[in-house]
C-alpha cells in the first residue's frame, strides 16, 4: 500500500504513534519516528529494524519550530524524499472550568497541539512543493475537535484548531495534489488515557460517552491514518474523519 513511500510520524514512541509506525512499515513504508522522548522513539525504531523494517528515530519537540524543520530535513537526508506525514504528537491539558485554566497550561497546550501542527505542515508542504507537488498529511485532532466537552476548554479548542488548519491547508494546496486531512479519535487506550483513567473514581465513566462502550486499541486509530495517507483515499482531502465508536454521531 505504501511500498517504499517515505514518511514522518511524530509522537511515535507510544500509543497511536507507535502503532502507526509498526503498521505503516508493515505496508512497505520507510519511516522517520519522531518524539520528545528520543530514547522511546529509538526503541520503537530498533524493534522495527529487528523485524526487517526501515525506520530511523529523531528526538524532536514539536513545540520548537527548529525541530519541526529538522524532522523534514532528516527524513530527506535518510531517505531522499518525503511522501506523507502523520502529525500525531499532542498533549492533554487536564480538566478545569475555563476561568480556572492556568495561563501556562493554555499556552503549553496550544504550542504543542496547534502551533506544532502548523510548523510541521509548513515545512512538509514546502518539501512537497519542492518535489513538484503531491503528498499526504494527516493531523491527529480528536472527537473533541468536533464537539465540546465540559471542563476541557483548552484541549477542545486546540483540537478544533487542528481541524480548521487541516481544512484550510487542504483548500490551499488541492491543485498541487497535496492532501490534508484530520483524524479524530475517540476513546483510545493510550498512555495518556491510562493516566487519566487512573485518576477517576469510576474508571468506566468515560465509556458512557461512547455508543460502542469500549476503548479503541491504538492500532484501530492507526488504521484510519494509514488509509488517509495511502492512495486508497486519493480523492479525500479536507476531511475530519471520526474514528470514535459513534461518539460524534448523536
- 246: enclosing H helix or E strand: none
The three cell numbers locating residue 82: 518525503
Q: 155, 173, 215, 227: which is the annotated catalytic residue?
A: 155
How far is it, in rounded angstroms, from Cα 236 to Cα 171?
Answer: 12
Question: Could you identify the residue written with the cell 454521531?
Answer: 249
What pairs with residue 136 in β-bridges? 84, 179
- Respond yes or no: is residue 173 known to be catalytic: no
Order the strands of the 240-243 sheet from edge to edge.
Answer: 54-59, 30-35, 6-10, 84-87, 135-140, 178-185, 240-243
User: 135: phi > 0 → left, psi -120 to 50 → alpha, else beta; which?
Assistant: left
Active site residues: 155
Amino acid at each position: 500500500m505504501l511500498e517504499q513511500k517515505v514518511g514522518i510520524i511524530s509522537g511515535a514512541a507510544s500509543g497511536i504513534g507507535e502503532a502507526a509506525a509498526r503498521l505503516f512499515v508493515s505496508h512497505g513504508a520507510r519511516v522517520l519516528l519522531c518524539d520528545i522522548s528520543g530514547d522511546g522513539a529509538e526503541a520503537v525504531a530498533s524493534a522495527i529494524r529487528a523485524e526487517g523494517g526501515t525506520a530511523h528515530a529523531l528526538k524532536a519537540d514539536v513545540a520548537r519550530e527548529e525541530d519541526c524543520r529538522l524532522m523534514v530535513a532528516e527524513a530527506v537526508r535518510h531517505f531522499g524524499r518525503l511522501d506523507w506525514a502523520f502529525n500525531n504528537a499532542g498533549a492533554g491539558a487536564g480538566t478545569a472550568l475555563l476561568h480556572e485554566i492556568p495561563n501556562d497550561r493554555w499556552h503549553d497546550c496550544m504550542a504543542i497541539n496547534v502551533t506544532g501542527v502548523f510548523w510541521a505542515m509548513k515545512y512538509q508542504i514546502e518539501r512537497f512543493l519542492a518535489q513538484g507537488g503531491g503528498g499526504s498529511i494527516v493531523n491527529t485532532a480528536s472527537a473533541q475537535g468536533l464537539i465540546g466537552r465540559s471542563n476541557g476548554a483548552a484541549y477542545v479548542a486546540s483540537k478544533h484548531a487542528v481541524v480548521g488548519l487541516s481544512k484550510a491547508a487542504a483548500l490551499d494546496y488541492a491543485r498541487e495534489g497535496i492532501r490534508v486531512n484530520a483524524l479524530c479519535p475517540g476513546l483510545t487506550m493510550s498512555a495518556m488515557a491510562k493516566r487519566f483513567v487512573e485518576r477517576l473514581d469510576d474508571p468506566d465513566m468515560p465509556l458512557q460517552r461512547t455508543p460502542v462502550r469500549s476503548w479503541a486499541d491504538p492500532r484501530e486509530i492507526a488504521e484510519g491514518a494509514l488509509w488517509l495517507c495511502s492512495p486508497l483515499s486519493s480523492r479525500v482531502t479536507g476531511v475530519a474523519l471520526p474514528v470514535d465508536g459513534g461518539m460524534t454521531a448523536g
